[in-house]
Amino acid sequence: MSLRHRVLQHLRSRLAADALPLRLVFWDGEGFDFAALPSVTITLHSARLLRLLLSGNFAALGDAYVAGEIGVDGSIADIMRVGITLAERVGKSTALSRLGRLASLVPRRHSPRKDRADVGYHYDVGNDFYRLWLDDNMIYSCAYFKDGTEDIDLAQRQKLDHICRKLMLRPGERLLDLGCGWGGLLYWAAQHYGVTGVGITLSERQCAYARQWIAAGQLGGKVEILKQDYRDLADAAGFDKIVSVGMYEHVGIRNLPRYFATVRRLLRPGGAFLNHGIVTTDPHGRAQGPAGGEFIGRYVFPGGAVPHLSRVVFEVARAGLEFADAEDLRPHYARTLSHWSQRLEARRDEAIRAAGERRYRIWRVYLAGMAHAFDRGWLSVAQVLAFRPAQNAEPYRPWTRSYQYRDTRAASGAGSVPLAGRLDLAGGAAAAPTQAGAADCPRVN
């Protein structure tokens, strides 16, 4: 028996409880099964790759996978199960893993030029590629499920409505979308809620797509799309409402104060702001999950960083915004990513033609891996709602959350929202609440 087989038998005995359905095929054609009837085959094209596997160097294995030095066959669900089990059992306690986690805590520089390059790397892959697996509205963020049985198109429409209701949008209000992507949220808000708006993105292809879509929908007079950095945005008129969905992850932890200060500067007194973004579940902001998690930073989201929810709330308050509400959507993102992963798998050949084999390999692992990360609780996603206080510190707010779950486009008089104002201290009673108007969406300014 070869030394290679003796070492792998020892590893198989360590993994016996996991019944790993894996076959390794080596550069010389010989194979080794970790279980009967394996459903996943990993082909290692050189002896170096086996040494990396046995030493737990999953960062280097990730590089080899992207370069095509490792072949992987099987369903993506089985592949992720095998990969995560190996990373947890073989790589979790290695020195390399610990060093990788320490490196993830080192702040990265976020200059406008670097941010443009990072955003371009991820989002300028090609609109045709993203169109294959996103929904009809090209929404590239966590969807919103009511019972989990919805398809991705319905769940994303529900998310768009959920955000618009939380912001209490009314006809004629001015909305800013920071990181507007392909323009889906602004299009929806203008079409269904009667707002005017401005969206900004650093992606050339997203900007071009959004402008064409807005023009085709005859919303050009109501919605403007700018290719611009949030730090450079100046608007003397200000905005009634501001929304940011899946964008703040790109600004960098050290830039969070500047990011939220920009929101406050652009938001009119009394206006509402909703920040929708990924958060880590570790209170110290450390990476969670098994070794190899740096794959996302290297190949998917260069420069990306996420804080704990407590840091988000702190920075919101430090910027002079009044925190009002937070909603955790972790199960929703796990389901969203699962839908995206399945849709990408179903259109493999088209995806390779649109973006190339290398990009397909990266996104295949990224989408399925992130679905596991949210499902296991290594990451979460939260919507944080805040207001900019008026000069008299009186942002009128709904008494309850019930308004978020009603049709805010109901007919006049249907389901108006009672609003809480300041106490009438002289009389000792609360001031009369303001009721919603015809659109059931009260102004907050």
Same domain, 97 and 132: no
Of the candidates 339, 359, 387, which is a domain's last residue? 387
For 169-215, the pLDDT digits (tens) are 999 999 999 999 999 999 999 999 999 999 999 999 999 999 999 99
Instruction: Establish if 433 belongs to a structural domain.
Output: no
In a domain, 193, yes or no: yes
> Does residue 135 sit in the same domain as residue 96?
no
pLDDT tens track of the chain, all 445 residues? 678 888 888 888 877 767 789 999 999 999 999 988 999 999 999 999 999 888 888 888 889 999 999 999 999 989 998 988 888 888 644 433 433 343 344 445 667 776 667 666 677 788 999 999 999 999 999 999 999 999 999 999 999 999 999 999 999 999 999 999 999 999 999 999 999 999 999 999 999 999 999 999 999 889 999 999 999 999 888 999 999 999 999 998 999 999 999 999 999 999 999 999 999 999 887 777 765 567 877 888 777 789 999 999 999 999 999 999 999 999 999 999 999 999 999 999 999 999 999 999 999 999 999 999 999 999 999 999 999 988 776 667 788 899 898 875 654 333 467 777 777 666 555 554 544 433 344 333 3
Query: Is residue 383 domain-resident?
Result: yes
Q: Give the whole-angstrom CA distance, residue 291 versus residue 90.
A: 9
In a domain, 209, yes or no: yes
Residue that finishes a domain, picked among 61, 86, 104: 104
Residues 79 and 141 in one domain: no
Inside any domain, residue 316: yes
Contact assessment for residue 264 and residue 395, using Cβ atoms and an 8 Å cutoff? no
Last residue of a domain, one of 372, 387, 402: 387
Q: Count up the domains in the chain and report the number.
A: 2
For 56, the domain range is 3-104
- Domain shared by 8 and 129, yes or no: no
Q: Helical H runs in 267-308?
A: 295-299
* Residue 399 resides in a domain: no
Q: Are strands 322-328 and 267-280 parallel, antiparallel or unpaired?
A: unpaired
Indicate whether 228 and 366 sit together in one domain: yes
**54 assigned to some structural domain:** yes
Residue 331 in contact with residue 120, Cβ under 8 Å?
no
- Helix 330-346 vs helix 348-355: crossing angle, to nearest 10: 90
Do 193 and 409 form a contact (C-beta atoms < 8 A)?
A: yes
Closest by Cα among 189, 188, 198 to 223: 198
* pTM (two decimals): 0.86
Environment class of 197 (CB within 10 Å of its CB; exposed 0-12, middle 13-18, buried 19+): buried
Is 33 contained in some domain? Answer: yes
Domain identity same for 74 and 175: no
